[in-house]
Structure 1
């Protein structure tokens, strides 16, 4: 459902912005960079909610990337994303959002298999490359054996020529 197609009587899923928990350290290397408050985040903008500085979704869904939230919201729901982020330590939230957005995009592309389809495709590609590498190594071994045999034959002929010179 596209949000541009919503008429005045229908409202999207109401999700309130959940404030950050103060129990986790804010000086982690994976925490989002502190920024000045620049208006509503993409989540609050799409969901038509009031956004403030304590919005848990604001650091991960900036206002200039609304598609990132729209896809994740379609698959997981904004309230579930906010709940998941609230339960995670500050240091892992950015990775969790990145994973959820990736999974949502994969699920939008392939509604049946999602990320599992991508993983299967990559495993098949890896198996094909392993077989190709094994074939190349076998060809290399055959060429090395042929080269050794040629060297052995050449040295044999040289040795027989030397022996005939002495006789």
Structure 2
């Protein structure tokens, strides 16, 4: 073997031995994290707006984190700045009702962009008017039926009274034959015609 080749091989081998080999256990240094702090859940408004929810947030009492759609609907129509400004101008006793009104108006405006809440009120008023008309017709029909019933009861009462008095009249005429002869040999069929027959008997 040539000594030059041996030297070259040794040198090459030595150069490979000097190069650092990657170690499977080596990893980049991990960043140092601070200890976890207590995180308070922000209200739905601050969460959607991606801002810090302060302790006295004016929106927190009315837009809890469990109802994000409530703020999304109101924010879509009125805007967050207008909602905050409007609530700040009201006393706290009226803010809950104001938020409910804003959410209702926003839902109505989304359903009907032209008329909004006014369209819903107009539709309800139309329904009330139709129901009042139906109620008036029902009351008129009820009065008509009551009148017909009263007339029917009066007719039945008159017929019963006539049927009860006619046998008494027939019995009286049978016991008084002179009335039979004065009536051309026949008994009167109606008690209403007995006035001129009984009149001579009373004189």
Superposition TM-score, scaled by structure 2 size: 0.62
Q: Which has the higher helix share?
A: 2
How far is the alpha carbon of 1:161 from its aligned partner?
A: 1.2
Q: Which residue of 2 aligns with 1:80?
A: 82
Residues 1:38 and 1:141: Cα distance change in structure 2 (over 3 Å): farther
Q: Which residue of 1 aligns with 2:10?
A: none
Q: Which residue of 2 aligns with 1:89?
A: 91
User: Is 1:100 aligned to residue 66 of structure 2?
Assistant: no
- Unaligned segments of structure 1, at least 5 residues: 1-36
Moved over 2 A (4+): none
Q: Which residue of 2 aligns with 1:134?
A: 136
Structure showing greater radius of gyration is: 2
In 2, the alpha carbon distance for the partners of 1:139 and 1:93 equals: 49
Q: 1:57 aligns with which of 52, 56, 59?
A: 59
- Unaligned segments of structure 2, at least 5 residues: 1-38, 170-203
Q: Which residue of 2 aligns with 1:12?
A: none
Structure 1 residues 2-53: Cα deviation after superposition (integer angstroms, max 9, x where no partner)? xxxxxxxxxxxxxxxxxxxxxxxxxxxxxxxxxxx94211111111111111
Q: 1:143 aligns with which of 145, 153, 163?
A: 145
Q: How does 1:21-40 map to 2 (within 5 A)?
A: 38-40=40-42
In 1, the alpha carbon distance for the partners of 2:57 and 2:82 equals: 14
Farther off after superposition, 37-46 or 53-62: 37-46
User: Is 1:110 aligned to residue 120 of structure 2?
Assistant: no
Q: Which residue of 2 aligns with 1:162?
A: 164
Structural RMSD (CA): 1.2
How far is the alpha carbon of 1:163 from its aligned partner?
A: 2.4
Structure 1 residues 82-124: Cα deviation after superposition (integer angstroms, max 9, x where no partner)? 1111111111100000000100011011111111111011001
In 1, the alpha carbon distance for the partners of 2:40 and 2:143 equals: 63
Q: Which residue of 1 aligns with 2:21?
A: none
In 2, the alpha carbon distance for the partners of 1:40 and 1:148 equals: 72
